[in-house]
C-alpha cells in the first residue's frame, strides 16, 4: 500500500489488508539522555471533527494546538486537492499556539492540592473562524475560545511637526491614521470635532502616538467560561453532546450535565454513591455521549461493565437501558480479577453502533444492539499475566490506557509499555494485529500476529496457559520497559493517521 492511501473497503470485497505504517512527524523529541520534566509529559490528545486541528494537554496544565498544513499549501479543501491529483505524501501538522489552561490550586476546606494536569480535552463546534474547546483537570472545566486578532501598532504622532499649532489632540484609529489630517483647535480636516481635544490653546509640546491596526494577526486564547465546584471527586471524563450545546463531566461517583452557556449550574444525571460509603463496590471510570443521539450516553465502571442510559427515561438515570458485561468464567477468579477488569476508557464508533472498551489486558468491541457479550476481544497484555504480582507491586497494574477507532470503523488501536502501540483489524475475517513503536522507525518492533480475535472465553484461557512468552516481554520476545508507557493516542477522524504521546513527545504516523 502506498503511503497516504486510505484502506477503503466496500461491502462484499473481503477483509482489508494490513496497513503499512510509516513515521510522519514528531514534536518535542527528546535527545539522548535528556531528562523529561514531569510538567512536560503529555496527558491528553484530541483531534477535532475535521481532523485539521489537534490539541494536546500536559501535566503542567498547558494546552498546545497544532494545525494541518498540507491541505493549505495549494488552497482549497482536501477533496479538491485529491481531485487535482496533488501528490500529498502524508498528513503534515505544524505548531499553532499554546496557552496555560489550568494552574495548581489548593482546596483549603479539604486541605487538598489540586493538580494542574489536563485530564481531558474535547473540541467544540467552531464558529466564525474561531476554535472552541473544553479542557479539565481533576476539579475544574474551562471553555476556551482561540481566535486570530489583528495586531495594533503604535506608529505616527498625532501632530505634524511642520504644522504644530499645538493642542495635543488624541488620534483615534477609527477616525484616521494619517497625521496630516489633524489641525489645530480640536478640528479634523473634514470639520468634525475631536471629542478628546484639550482646552483651547492646548499644549504645543504634547504629542501623542497614533495606534493603528495592521494586517498582521496573532492567535489569542481566551477563557470564556469556568465550570467549577460541581465534583467532589476527580473528573475522569468530559464529552460533548451531538446537539452542540451540552456536555457531560464524570467523576468516580457522579455524572453531571452542563450547558455550554451556563457555568453556575449543572444537572446531576447519574449518582452511584451509596448511602453508606462502606457499601461502595464500583466507581465510574469513563463516560461518553453517543455521537449521533444527544439523549444517549454510556459510562464504564471499575467492575468491567458498560451501562447505556437514555436521558428521556428520567431526570436521574438510576437505571440503565442496557448493561454490557462479560460473564466470569467459573474457577478463574483471583486476587487480580477485579483490578484487571476495570475499564480505563470507552469510545463510540463514528456511527454510534459499537463501543470500544479498554481494560488492562484486552480491547473489547461491543455492539450496542447485543448485550450478551463483546463481539470481539483483542489480547493486548496477555503475555503479562504471569507478571501480575510484579505489576501490582510497582502500581503498573493501575495504568489507564486509552483506546481509539478509525473513522470508518475498520480498525482499533491502543497503547502498551516500552512506548508500543497495537493496531487490530475488526472487519469480519481480518487477521490484522500490528505492534509498532513510538519512534522514527515504528516498524522496528512491528510483528504481525495472524490470529483471529475471538469471543470464546475458552480460547482466551488456552492462550493464557500456553506460556510460550517469557514474563515481562512482548509478543516478539522483547523485554518491556514498564517506566515508558504509551497511554494516550488518537485516530484521525477521516484518514489512517494516528497521533500518540510518549512522555513529552508527540509522534504521528500514517498508512
When pLDDT is cut at 50, 70 and 90, the band that residue 468 belongs to is very low
Element (H, E) at 341: helix 337-341
When pLDDT is cut at 50, 70 and 90, the band that residue 509 belongs to is very high
pLDDT greater than 60 at residue 398: yes
Element (H, E) at 250: strand 246-250
What confidence score (pLDDT) does residue 295 get?
94
Contacts of 221 by beta carbon, 8 Å cutoff, 6+ apart? 63, 97, 99, 144, 145, 146
What confidence score (pLDDT) does residue 72 get?
56
- Decide which of 402 and 181 is more confident: 402
- If you ran DSSP here, which 8-state letter would residue 39 be given? G
- Decide which of 15 and 164 is more confident: 15
Residue with cell 487538598: 112
Element (H, E) at 264: strand 262-271
pLDDT greater than 80 at residue 196: no
When pLDDT is cut at 50, 70 and 90, the band that residue 481 belongs to is confident
- Decide which of 3 and 19 is more confident: 19
Which of the residue ranges 153-157, 169-173, 432-436, 471-475 has the most confident prediction, judged by mean pLDDT? 432-436
Give the C-alpha separation, 135 to 484, whole Å: 25
Give the C-alpha separation, 491 to 124, whole Å: 17
Give the C-alpha separation, 166 to 118, whole Å: 56
Q: C-alpha grid cell for residue 371?
A: 448485550
Buried b (16+ CB within 10 A) or exposed e, 148-159: eeeeeeeeeebb
Q: Which of 269, 266, 259, 262 is nearest to 230 (CA)?
A: 266
Q: Which of 44, 71, 217, 46 is nearest to 130 (CA)?
A: 217
pLDDT greater than 50 at residue 452: no
Backbone phi, psi, residue 462, to 5°: -65, -40
Half-sphere exposure of 301 (CA within 13 A, CB side): 22
pLDDT greater than 60 at residue 175: no
Do residues 306 and 324 make contact, with C-beta atoms less than 8 angstroms apart? yes
What is residue 216's three-state secondary structure? strand
- If you ran DSSP here, which 8-state letter would residue 29 be given? P
Do residues 443 and 436 make contact, with C-beta atoms less than 8 angstroms apart? yes
- Average pLDDT over every residue of 80-86: 44
- Average pLDDT over every residue of 444-464: 40
What confidence score (pLDDT) does residue 430 get?
86
Give the model confidence (pLDDT) of 266-310 as tens digits: 999 999 999 999 999 999 999 999 999 999 999 999 999 999 999
Give the model confidence (pLDDT) of 16-74 as tens digits: 678 899 999 999 987 777 788 999 999 999 999 999 999 999 999 999 999 999 875 44
Amino acid at each position: 500500500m502506498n503511503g497516504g492511501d486510505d484502506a477503503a473497503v466496500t461491502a462484499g470485497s473481503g477483509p482489508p489488508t494490513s496497513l503499512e505504517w510509516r513515521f510522519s512527524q514528531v514534536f518535542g523529541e527528546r535527545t539522548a539522555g535528556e531528562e523529561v520534566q514531569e510538567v512536560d509529559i503529555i496527558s491528553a490528545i484530541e483531534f477535532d471533527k475535521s481532523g485539521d486541528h489537534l490539541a494536546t494537554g500536559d501535566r503542567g496544565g498547558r494546552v498546545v494546538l497544532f494545525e494541518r498544513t498540507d491541505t493549505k499549501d495549494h488552497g482549497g479543501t482536501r477533496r479538491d486537492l485529491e481531485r487535482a491529483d496533488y501528490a500529498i505524501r502524508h498528513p503534515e501538522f505544524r505548531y499553532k499556539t499554546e496557552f496555560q489552561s489550568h494552574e495548581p490550586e489548593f482546596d483549603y476546606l479539604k486541605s487538598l492540592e489540586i493538580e494542574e494536569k489536563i485530564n481531558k480535552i474535547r473540541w467544540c463546534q467552531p464558529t466564525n473562524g474561531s476554535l472552541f474547546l473544553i479542557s479539565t483537570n481533576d476539579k475544574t472545566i474551562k471553555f476556551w475560545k482561540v481566535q486570530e486578532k489583528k495586531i495594533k501598532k503604535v506608529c505616527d504622532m498625532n501632530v505634524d511637526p511642520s504644522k504644530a499649532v499645538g493642542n495635543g489632540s488624541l488620534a483615534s484609529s477609527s477616525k484616521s491614521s494619517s497625521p496630516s489630517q489633524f489641525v489645530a483647535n480640536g478640528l479634523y480636516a473634514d470639520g468634525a470635532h475631536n471629542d478628546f481635544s484639550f482646552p483651547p490653546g492646548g499644549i504645543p509640546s504634547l504629542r501623542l502616538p497614533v495606534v493603528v491596526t495592521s494586517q498582521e494577526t496573532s492567535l489569542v486564547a481566551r477563557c470564556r467560561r469556568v465550570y467549577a465546584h460541581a465534583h467532589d471527586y476527580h473528573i475522569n471524563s468530559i464529552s460533548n453532546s451531538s446537539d452542540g450545546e451540552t456536555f457531560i463531566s464524570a467523576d468516580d461517583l457522579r455524572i453531571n450535565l452542563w450547558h455550554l452557556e451556563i457555568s453556575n449550574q449543572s444537572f446531576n444525571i447519574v449518582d452511584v454513591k451509596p448511602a453508606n460509603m462502606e457499601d461502595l463496590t464500583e466507581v465510574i471510570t469513563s463516560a461518553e455521549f453517543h455521537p449521533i443521539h444527544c439523549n444517549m450516553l454510556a459510562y464504564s465502571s471499575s467492575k468491567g461493565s458498560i451501562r447505556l442510559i437514555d436521558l428521556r427515561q428520567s431526570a436521574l438515570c438510576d437505571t440503565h437501558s442496557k448493561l454490557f458485561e462479560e460473564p466470569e468464567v467459573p474457577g478463574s477468579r483471583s486476587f487480580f480479577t477485579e483490578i484487571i477488569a476495570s475499564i480505563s476508557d470507552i469510545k463510540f464508533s463514528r456511527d454510534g453502533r459499537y463501543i470500544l472498551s479498554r481494560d488492562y489486558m484486552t480491547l473489547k468491541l461491543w455492539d450496542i444492539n447485543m448485550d450478551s457479550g463483546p463481539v470481539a476481544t483483542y489480547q493486548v497484555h496477555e503475555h503479562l499475566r504471569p507478571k501480575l504480582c510484579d505489576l501490582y507491586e510497582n502500581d503498573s497494574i493501575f495504568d489507564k490506557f486509552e483506546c481509539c477507532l478509525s473513522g470508518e470503523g475498520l480498525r482499533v488501536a491502543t497503547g502498551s509499555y516500552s512506548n508500543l502501540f497495537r493496531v487490530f483489524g475488526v472487519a469480519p475475517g481480518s487477521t490484522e494485529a500490528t505492534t509498532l513503536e513510538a519512534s522514527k522507525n515504528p516498524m522496528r518492533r512491528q510483528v504481525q500476529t495472524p490470529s483471529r480475535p475471538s469471543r470464546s472465553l475458552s480460547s482466551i484461557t488456552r492462550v493464557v496457559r500456553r506460556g510460550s512468552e517469557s514474563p515481562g516481554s512482548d509478543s516478539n520476545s522483547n523485554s518491556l520497559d514498564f517506566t515508558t508507557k504509551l497511554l494516550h493516542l488518537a485516530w484521525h477522524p477521516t484518514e489512517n493517521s494516528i497521533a500518540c504521546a510518549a512522555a513529552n513527545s508527540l509522534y504521528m504516523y500514517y498508512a
